[in-house]
Structure 1
């Protein structure tokens, strides 16, 4: 990374909301989670309003499961964090930066194995579970840019593997953003047709919130 990029990125990192001491829920991950934070309308902001309680937010645009440093590495975002619920996503930036749409097998295997038991994602989830947290993994929606193209395939593989991971542990829930998103509805997306609009962020929070109401 060029040295002149370091200070702007560190300044951006400082804009994260952090984790209040009393937070029962913490949001982590990449730009899908962090988007609209400057408008107080991110996923964590909407969860805060809906649940009526403090919600931690350590998510960062550009964050990866593999590589990255500090808050730009999703496992590092959660270093030392303990909470009843961790809501997170991850993997899109790894796929986007390290493979094209037809040669993603190696990075998918590093993220999560075919059986859902090995790789960076299961390792992070297992670590969170050992800390006593329950996990909501939010699987990506299909963007207007990828809909109907070969680029959908790696994300479908990722979802299938994460679903196997979640099925193996009652303390892990999979929230599929495609349940509330349609790539044809541009009101759900920002102008880049990739990140969520404020309405999109709200829908993600509304998808997740009922899972967090469970206290068992």
Structure 2
């Protein structure tokens, strides 16, 4: 996926995103990650909301704006979001805030390596996925779309590298699926994006839900 989403945690957004977070006791699907997953939750239009409608069942949502894979604390750390969660499916994304806060667009090698090694076997992302698989979950990792704010810039390159490494990770385990949001997003279709031209609109969030639900329904 060719994408860049530099996500910032805004206090008001974070407080709104905290509403309706949680995991129902009978949920077999849980959504985790950063603001791409959490966006539109206050309007009932987040990715988890879309999955709930499509699957016709409870869906947990522990995602939080500004969350990182290898940094942050509490809900701002994606592995911590999933502490104690044991469910059939985990839908998760992450890495944009790690990249956005710790490197510029031309010097991201060390941050990428910390997230996931070139062979897809080591780093914070594979460690999280291995932990989830050990709890019996099937994992759907959602790779970022290309946002209109950054499309065509040099900032896309780190996300291409991230995608390549994620694909290698997923290829090594049949219980891990990589879905590419670029399959259902176009950066020139502004109806898919919020006013900041970075986060998804409600329509965009529902596109992501469609992409994920197709995997769960198989």
Per the normalisation by structure 1, the TM-score is: 0.93
Q: Tell whether 2:133 aligns with 1:126.
A: no
Alpha-carbon shift at residue 14 of structure 1 (Å): 3.9
Q: Tell whether 2:143 aligns with 1:143.
A: no
Residue in 2 aligned with 1:32? 36
| SS of alignment partner, residue 151 of structure 1 | helix
Match of 1:187 among 180, 191, 207: 191
Q: Tell whether 2:106 aligns with 1:108.
A: no
- Give a deviation string over 1:9-52, Cα, whole Å, max 9, x none: 98556424200000010000000000000000000000000100
Could you tell me which runs of 5 or more consecutive residues in structure 2 were left unpaired when the two chains were aligned.
1-8
TM-align CA RMSD: 1.6
Residue in 2 aligned with 1:45? 49
- Do 1:28 and 1:89's aligned partners in 2 also have CA atoms closer than 8 Å? yes
Provide the C-alpha distance between the structure 1 equivalents of 2:17 and 2:150, rounded to a whole number of angstroms: 28
Provide the C-alpha distance between the structure 2 equivalents of 1:13 and 1:104, rounded to a whole number of angstroms: 29
- Do 1:16 and 1:59's aligned partners in 2 also have CA atoms closer than 8 Å? no
- Give a deviation string over 1:29-77, Cα, whole Å, max 9, x none: 0000000000000000000001000000000000000110100000000
Per the normalisation by structure 2, the TM-score is: 0.93
Aligned residues: 209
Provide the C-alpha distance between the structure 1 equivalents of 2:212 and 2:13, rounded to a whole number of angstroms: 29
Task: Point out which structure has higher relative CO (alpha carbons under 8 A, 6+ apart).
Answer: 2
Could you tell me which runs of 5 or more consecutive residues in structure 1 were left unpaired when the two chains were aligned.
none
- Do 2:17 and 2:42's aligned partners in 1 also have CA atoms closer than 8 Å? no
Provide the C-alpha distance between the structure 1 equivalents of 2:196 and 2:46, rounded to a whole number of angstroms: 16
Residue in 1 aligned with 2:215? 211
- Do 2:32 and 2:81's aligned partners in 1 also have CA atoms closer than 8 Å? yes
| SS of alignment partner, residue 154 of structure 2 | coil
Q: Tell whether 2:80 aligns with 1:76.
A: yes
Q: Tell whether 2:38 aligns with 1:19.
A: no
Alpha-carbon shift at residue 140 of structure 1 (Å): 0.1
Q: Tell whether 2:167 aligns with 1:163.
A: yes
